[in-house]
Amino acid sequence: MNTKDNSRREFITAGVLAGLALAGCATKKSPFDPDASEGVKPSGEMVKLLSVDGEVIEVDKAFLKPVPELPAVSNDIARKGIAGKKFVMVIDLSRCKSLKKCQSACNHMHHIHPGQNWIKVYPMQDSERTAPYWEPTTCMHCDEPPCVKVCPVDATFKRQDGIVLIDSDRCIGCRFCMAACPYSARVFNWEDPGVPEEVASKPYSCESSVPQKKGTVGKCDFCPDMVRQGQLPHCVAACPNGVFAFGDILEDTVTNGAETFRFSDLIKDKAGYRLMEDLGTKPSVYYLPPVNRNFPFENNEPKEEGKKS
Amino acid sequence: MENSTIQKITDDLLPQKFGKQGKLWVAFLSILCVIGFIAYCRQVYKGLVVTSMRDYVSWGIYISNFVFFVAISLVGSLITAVLRLTNAEWSTPLTRIAEIIAVSAITFASIIIVVDMGRPDRFYNLFLHGRLQSPIIWDVIVITTYFFISLLLLYFPLLPDLQILLKYKEKTSKGLYKLYSFLGSFWKNTPEQEKISNRAINILSITIIPVAFSIHTVTSWLFATTYRPGWDSTNFGAYFISGAFLVGAGAVIVAMYVFRAHYNLEKYITDSHFDKMGKVLVLLALLYLYFNVNEFLVPAFKMKKSEEEHLMGLFTGEFAAVFWFAISTAMIIPILILVFKNGRKPFPAFIAGILVVIGSWFKRYLIVTPTLLHPFLPMHDVPANYKHYFPTWEEWAIAIGSLAGALLIITIFARIFPIIPIHETIIETEQHEKA
């Protein structure tokens, strides 16, 4: 992302943090309580701040309050997506040894119900005599998404930047999208997902998919909240082996954090492919075949038979 | 016609108070409904976690029960519309039975689909944010339409009977009398009213046929519009419709037998009715069998990798027992019973009807669940209980409660209104005597 965005974000983050710290010093009352400010006495200590108009202003320290947390973008903007972008992911199967750091980072950051996973790492063997390998799957963010087609209330939608998201404030929990998805990418909150109280009380954002709500569907969201901040999705950042590369197909660039590739060259040179191409769903996730693997395939999980369509 | 004959018919067919048996039956059904309701309260409180459904089997017996209800409701259109338009006069005494089965089944189909929702509190989103491209919205539209047409087809032929009921003030309780006059006091049986009513019934009989086909075709599309092995089939619409007519006709035979035995209606629901409905049932069972052969033999011949696990699970695997049970009880055994003249006597026909209904319920279960246990990618990275499905007591209680609720509506309807049309029976007897 560009530097202007970055510096602005850092400034806001620093400001909020400073505000929190100062408010913490000033009063023990809840800073969100409207009555809290009435009892506050000026401390005489002034703090210099930059106003929204760009002027430097002085405010008494005692009156500083943290900004309540609001979703970074409105529902309307979250539904439209980031203009001029078309996100893709490339998953290099030759690098995966099923460490599942992607999975645990994803579960942790999205506060997914324990036991459920948005990212799954399958032990795969295409046929009896072919070599086994690990196949991590995310939501495929299809360009012809079967889930979006069947959703009766527009709770799951396709954005202009290619990302398929869920509006958990609108989802009615009919689970038609789960039946429609051939990649089994979707999970359902059968009970309260057990999100920590301070997260659960936040308003839901389609871009962070947090907090998950009882009776609605969840799935991998390509972390557009991170992307908006110029950062990589959690799974990409968490993988120590650089299995996941994320980027913008219009810029023809994908990166796993350490290395950056020209997307078209990568797909051409390594014979990239997509899952279940024959269904016509046109996924945004590409796979590089498990050739010249970095690690031997060792399956220490309870035995399960792998198969592939 | 003599007044005494009219009097006799009216006396025979007027709704009767519940006897001891009737009260027990109503109490039994009510208890099942209450248990189902308690289970549903638990589900609302705790979430769908009280069911056995999980991420792979995300639809369970609620959905198969929904399909069952939609299927059985189609009989309303078969008996009242198809047989009426083909001038099969023998079906007149059965029309109201068929129509009340349709109305109660479609009512509980709507209820059970709300039960299956993760967020029933957001039901209004279907109207606020409905998207016409989703088959669920198609289902909402056609089911609502079908419900109202069925209700009208129940109501219009009831008007002359309400007039008769109002004549017997001394025989009805105050509350019922009020209900009758609210529903039908405007009906004076004038030729003009009769003309309007007949016209309306004719129009509704014609419109209900495409609507009935739509409700079950669209219901089949909830499955057929996905990619999954076992659902991805162009056969599905016709397969569902034929199965629906079969189970509905089976239910009508069962209801005929029960009403006839309980209210001593042997003169009105005769052996000949069982004989004819038995023939209809054989035809429908053969038709459904034909679509089943299409549905399973063709993919089994190819045994595509994605279909193989699903099909083998049905033929010889974990679902084989239920699969062959459903095929034999819903089709093969009823055909073998009803194809013989003696098999079309009331009692054996009744048994065949029960077999059809039970077999068909399990058939719907087999349409929904096994497919979901065979996704394209193997089941992985989920807790062990996500890989199996057997309904919990809450699911059974709700499913059984909904079936009991549908029966309760039919029972109470038969208590309040004549289950055999009185007016039409009198008219037909008159015509019969003239001829």
Q: What is the DSSP string of B109-148?
A: HHHHHHHT-S-GGGTTHHHHS--TTSHHHHHHHHHHHHHH
A152/B227 touch (CB, cutoff 8 Å), yes or no: no
Radius of gyration of chain B, Cα coordinates, nearest whole angstrom: 23
Cβ density class A292-302: b for 16+ within 10 Å, e for less: ebeeebeeeee
Name which of B51, B125, B135 is nearest A172 (Cβ-Cβ): B125
Q: What are phi and psi of A124, to 5 degrees?
A: -120, 145
Confidence of residue B367 (pLDDT cuts 50, 70, 90): very high
DSSP B381: S
Percent of chain A with pLDDT over 90: 68
Flag whether A282 is in a domain.
yes
Radius of gyration of chain A, Cα coordinates, nearest whole angstrom: 22
Q: Is B222 on the interface with A (CB under 8 A)?
A: yes
Residues in A closer than 8 angstroms to B383, CB to CB, are 115
Confidence of residue A63 (pLDDT cuts 50, 70, 90): confident
Helix or strand holding residue B336 (H, E): helix B333-338
Q: What's the gap between Cα A234 and its chain centre?
A: 6
Q: What are phi and psi of A122, to 5 degrees?
A: -90, 135
Query: Which tokens hold the place of B393?
Result: 């007591």
Q: Say how far apart CA B59 and CA B62 lie, in whole Å.
A: 7
pLDDT surpasses 60 at A19: no
Region A40-68: mean pLDDT is 80
Q: Say how far apart CA B312 and CA B314 lie, in whole Å.
A: 5
pLDDT surpasses 80 at B231: yes
CA atoms within 13 A on the CB side of B209: 14
A184/B375 touch (CB, cutoff 8 Å), yes or no: yes
Residue B234's Cβ-count burial label (10 Å; 0-12, 13-18, 19+) is: exposed
Query: Closest-CA residue in chain A for B383?
Result: A115
pLDDT surpasses 90 at B1: no
Q: Is B123 on the interface with A (CB under 8 A)?
A: yes
Q: Are residues A119 and A12 part of one domain?
A: no
Q: Are residues A93 and A50 part of one domain?
A: no
Mean per-residue pLDDT over chain B, rounded:
94
Name which of A120, A178, A307 is nearest B58 (Cβ-Cβ): A178
Query: Closest-CA residue in chain A for B226?
Result: A180
Region B410-429: mean pLDDT is 93
Q: Are residues A81 and A48 part of one domain?
A: no
Type of residue at B221: W
A122/B380 touch (CB, cutoff 8 Å), yes or no: yes
Q: Is B302 on the interface with A (CB under 8 A)?
A: no
Q: Are residues A149 and A22 part of one domain?
A: no
Q: Are residues A157 and A112 part of one domain?
A: yes
Give how far A178 is from chain B: nearest CA, Å.
Answer: 7
Q: Are residues A94 and A137 part of one domain?
A: yes
Query: Closest-CA residue in chain A for B305?
Result: A309
Cβ within 8 Å of A, B 126-165: 126, 128-131, 133-137, 140
pLDDT value at residue A301: 76
Q: Where are the alpha helices (DSSP H) in B231-328?
A: 236-263, 271-302, 305-315, 320-327
pLDDT value at residue A107: 96
Give how far A64 is from chain B: nearest CA, Å.
Answer: 39
pLDDT in tens, B298-323: 999 999 988 999 999 999 999 999 99
Cα-based distances in Å from A34 to A31, A39, A49, B112: 8, 10, 22, 46
pLDDT surpasses 80 at B156: yes
Flag whether A301 is in a domain.
no
Among B119, B222, B223, B379, the strongest candidate for a mutation testing the A interface, having the largest count of A CBs within 10 A, is B119
pLDDT surpasses 50 at A23: no
Q: Are residues A177 and A239 part of one domain?
A: yes
Residues in A closer than 8 angstroms to B379, CB to CB, are 184
Query: Closest-CA residue in chain A for B57?
Result: A179
Q: Are A99 and A82 in contact (CB under 8 A)?
A: no
pLDDT value at residue A307: 43
Flag whether A295 is in a domain.
no
Q: Are A230 and A1 in contact (CB under 8 A)?
A: yes
Flag whether A213 is in a domain.
yes
Overall number of domains in chain A = 2
pLDDT value at residue A67: 66
Q: Are residues A132 and A276 part of one domain?
A: yes
For B304, the 3-state DSSP assignment is: coil
Q: Are residues A166 and A56 part of one domain?
A: no
CA-wise closest residue to A299 among A122, A91, A137 = A122
pLDDT value at residue B273: 95
Flag whether A307 is in a domain.
no
The size of chain A, in residues, is 309
Q: Is B325 on the interface with A (CB under 8 A)?
A: no
Name which of A116, A117, A179 is nearest B59 (Cβ-Cβ): A179
Type of residue at B60: G
pLDDT surpasses 90 at A25: no
Cβ density class A226-238: b for 16+ within 10 Å, e for less: bbbbebbbbbbbb
Flag whether A80 is in a domain.
yes
Confidence of residue A6 (pLDDT cuts 50, 70, 90): low
The 3-class secondary structure across chain A, one letter per residue, is CCHHHHHHHHHHHHHHHHHHHHHHHHCCCCCCCHHHHCCCCCCCCEEEEECCCCCEEEEEHHHCCCCCCCCCCCHHHHHHCCCCCCEEEEEEHHHCCCCCHHHHHHHHHHCCCCCCCCCEEEEECCCCCCCCEEEEECCCCCCCCHHHHHCCCCCEEECCCCCEEECCCCCCCCCHHHHHCCCCCCEECCCCCCCCHHHHCCCCECCCCECCCCCCEECCCCCHHHHHCCCCCHHHHHCCCCCEEEEECCCCEEECCCCEEEHHHHHHHCCCECCCHHHCCCCCEEEECCCCCCCCCCCCCCCCCCCCC
Residues in B closer than 8 angstroms to A103, CB to CB, are 381
Q: Are A102 and A243 in contact (CB under 8 A)?
A: yes
Q: Are residues A273 and A186 part of one domain?
A: yes
Q: Is B223 on the interface with A (CB under 8 A)?
A: yes
Query: Closest-CA residue in chain A for B369?
Result: A179
Q: What are phi and psi of B75, to 5 degrees?
A: -65, -25
pLDDT value at residue B62: 97
Q: Are residues A223 and A102 part of one domain?
A: yes
Residues in A closer than 8 angstroms to B48, CB to CB, are 173, 188, 190-191, 215
Q: In order of start, what are the domains of chain B with their CATH numbers? A: 3-377+388-434 (1.20.1630.10)
Q: Are B80 and B150 in contact (CB under 8 A)?
A: no
Confidence of residue A121 (pLDDT cuts 50, 70, 90): very high
pLDDT in tens, B43-64: 999 999 999 999 999 999 999 9
Q: Are residues A280 and A153 part of one domain?
A: yes
pLDDT surpasses 80 at A295: yes
Name which of B117, B137, B377 is nearest A184 (Cβ-Cβ): B377
Cα-based distances in Å from A31 to A27, A66, A161, A216, B168: 8, 7, 38, 32, 75
Flag whether A184 is in a domain.
yes
- Residue A91: which CATH number? 3.30.70.20
Percent of chain B with pLDDT over 90: 86
The size of chain B, in residues, is 435
**Residue that is written with structure tokens 């219901």 in the block:** B219
CA-wise closest residue to B112 among B79, B71, B55, B155 = B71
User: Which residues constitute the domain of residue A17?
Assistant: 3-63
pLDDT in tens, A159-182: 999 999 999 999 999 999 999 999
DSSP B316: T
Q: Are A189 and A214 in contact (CB under 8 A)?
A: yes
Cα-based distances in Å from B232 to B74, B223, B226, B228: 23, 7, 6, 6
Name which of B126, B381, B383 is nearest A172 (Cβ-Cβ): B126
B377/A137 touch (CB, cutoff 8 Å), yes or no: yes
Residue where one domain finishes, among candidates A37, A63, A89? A63
Region A209-228: mean pLDDT is 95
Q: Are B327 and B366 in contact (CB under 8 A)?
A: no
A190/B126 touch (CB, cutoff 8 Å), yes or no: no
Flag whether A293 is in a domain.
no
CA-wise closest residue to B185 among B193, B419, B96 = B193
Q: Say how far apart CA A175 and CA B55 lie, in whole Å.
A: 9
For B190, the 3-state DSSP assignment is: coil
